[in-house]
Structure 1
Amino acid sequence: SREEVSIWLKRKLDSHYLVFYIDATFVHTRREKSVSKEGYYTILGIKEDGSREVLSIVNHPTEGALLWQQELESLKERGVQSVGLVVSDGLTSIENAIARSFVNAQHQLCVVHLKRNILAVFPRTKRLEIGKELLEIFAIETKNITVVEAFENLCKFVEKYKKSYPSLKSFSNQRNIAYFTYLNYPISIQRMIYSTNWIERLNRDYKRVLKMRGAMPSSESVLFLMGSVAIEKEYKSYVYPVSVFREIEELKRIIEKEEV
């Protein structure tokens, strides 16, 4: 029922999470006689046992860093005290919002989003070649390169092509070092934290259910349907610890070291 979903979305949460994945998806929503695309924010957490949990689903007409900070603060009101890592897209100032809410959290920007944005700069005829270069820059499951070295390689890539493609210059911005945070973590979990893929899969599940409904729903209906999907996930698949997080103690030590 709607009441059960509403209660579930306001439930008390654990005090510590290993990872937050945050992302917004946009859904055509009816308000009175008008329909517009509105943002629905989801926060997916990795618990200390390696299982997943949808922590929050909320509606805002737009997406912005201050709105994300508001939602992160609301998690603290529900019992969350700390998080080790936050994975997000490259929304402007999102790193500031995360730092204000969870001072000791590490931040990983989504590599998949960045690759798409870089490839879009180049003509189709060059994308295969550029894609191979990006695979080398954003190496996964390796300890052979440091965060700083990997970022320097990205800057070299920008330097190489910026004369022909001036819009690449923004990709060497200092904030983009956060695209390489995953290199600080155990090899076994790097693939799981270098992008927002997990939460994007959840967004696709939301939209599949919403599409089956047909008519443009109200924001209340969207939240009910999304909440129902999240609850089903929690009981059917998210309850099982992710095997790749078996090195959880090592991850916890990294987090604790950063917090000292």
Structure 2
Amino acid sequence: MIVDGVWASVQCASEDFWEDQAGHIRKLRRAEDRVILVAMAIWPNGTQTVLHYEIAVQESEAAWLLFFEHLRQRGLQTHLVKLIVSDGTTGLPKVIRALFPLAQHQRCITHKVRAMLRHLGYEQLPHLDAQGQELSHSEAKKLRYSQIKHDAYAIYKAPDWEEAIVALLVFAQKWTDLEPDAVRTFTKDFALTLSFYDFDESIHSLIRTSNALERLFREFRTKADEIGAFPNEESCLAIFFLVSRRDHAKHDRLNNHGE
């Protein structure tokens, strides 16, 4: 099960009032940020299904607890969940341990690499490229960025957990002196990014990232940007429903075509 949240702007009533042109007193509404929490199932055959979604004020531990309680009330049997994929949202790992004691936790490798890249210090940059051509400062930074990003993702191409750990040690040896903060961020809780190795290789690409949900979120954000601030939470959820249904239908067509 992949869990994540996507933010949107929603018009919410405030405690203030205003007078319209007809002299009527109305409550003032202000645009506020709200997050749609979402759970997507990945079945052993690779099929993807959005299980549940709801609006919350923030991605807090309390919000996730309530979210999973609603999902349980709808029939989810928590002891049957084998793996939960998420980003590094604060509070969520504690909730997963409490409610899904038999499930493994997979940290999204895409979010892991992105977090590392945000900590690059760009010290001791190279002056020449692989062909011996002189690099400008901006070119050297781009080269550092692309090289360490490539090396980080290459770790997850290892055939198994053990070889991935060996690849991580090689990575750390190569980059620690140049980018200590980035390597420290990347190696923290690194084992959580390798849980996918305990499952069938055929679904590794689906369960080692939250990309299946991120793709859906991109489509929703496109619609949300066109609308601006949703007039209410119901309209926000309605658009998310339509986007998720279209995404589901698209995958059905692709799967049927593949068969």
C-alpha separation in 2, matches of 1:86 and 1:108: 6
Residue 159 of structure 1 and its aligned partner are, at CA, apart by 5.5
Residues 50 and 241 of structure 1 are in contact (CA less than 8 Å); yes or no, is this contact kept in structure 2?
Answer: no
C-alpha separation in 1, matches of 2:176 and 2:167: 14
Residue 15 of structure 1 aligns with which residue?
none
Residue 84 of structure 1 aligns with which residue?
82
Alignment length, in residue pairs?
219
2:48 corresponds to 1:30: no
Q: Larger % of helix: which?
A: 1
Residue 146 of structure 2 aligns with which residue?
128
Q: 1:163 to 1:50 in 2, by over 3 A?
A: closer
Q: 1:85 to 1:233 in 2, by over 3 A?
A: same
1:200 to 197, 210, 214: 214
2:238 to 193, 203, 224: 224
2:40 corresponds to 1:44: yes
TM-score (norm 1): 0.73
Q: Deviations over 1:21-76 (max 9, x none)?
A: 11111111211222122211111113466432211111112112342232122211
TM-score (norm 2): 0.73
Residue 118 of structure 1 aligns with which residue?
116
Residue 51 of structure 2 aligns with which residue?
55
Segment drifting more, 209-218 vs 196-205: 209-218
Q: 1:121 to 1:231 in 2, by over 3 A?
A: same
**Higher relative contact order at CA 8 Å, sep ≥6: structure 1 or structure 2?**
1
Q: 1:54 to 1:112 in 2, by over 3 A?
A: same
Residue 105 of structure 1 aligns with which residue?
103
Residue 161 of structure 1 and its aligned partner are, at CA, apart by 3.4
2:186 corresponds to 1:171: yes
Amino acid at match of 1:178: L
Segment drifting more, 203-212 vs 177-186: 203-212
Q: 1:180 to 1:76 in 2, by over 3 A?
A: same
User: Which has the greater radius of gyration?
Assistant: 2
| Unaligned ranges ≥5, structure 2 | 14-28, 121-140
CA RMSD of aligned residues (A): 2.7
Residues 21 and 199 of structure 1 are in contact (CA less than 8 Å); yes or no, is this contact kept in structure 2?
Answer: yes
Q: Deviations over 1:72-106 (max 9, x none)?
A: 22211111112111111012342221121111111
Q: Deviations over 1:1-31 (max 9, x none)?
A: xxxxxxxxxxxxxxxxxxx111111111211
Q: Deviations over 1:166-218 (max 9, x none)?
A: 42323322x33110111222222111111001001111122233334355432
Residue 135 of structure 1 and its aligned partner are, at CA, apart by 2.9
Q: 1:242 to 1:75 in 2, by over 3 A?
A: farther
| Unaligned ranges ≥5, structure 1 | 1-19, 247-260
C-alpha separation in 1, matches of 2:45 and 2:170: 40
Residue 249 of structure 1 aligns with which residue?
none
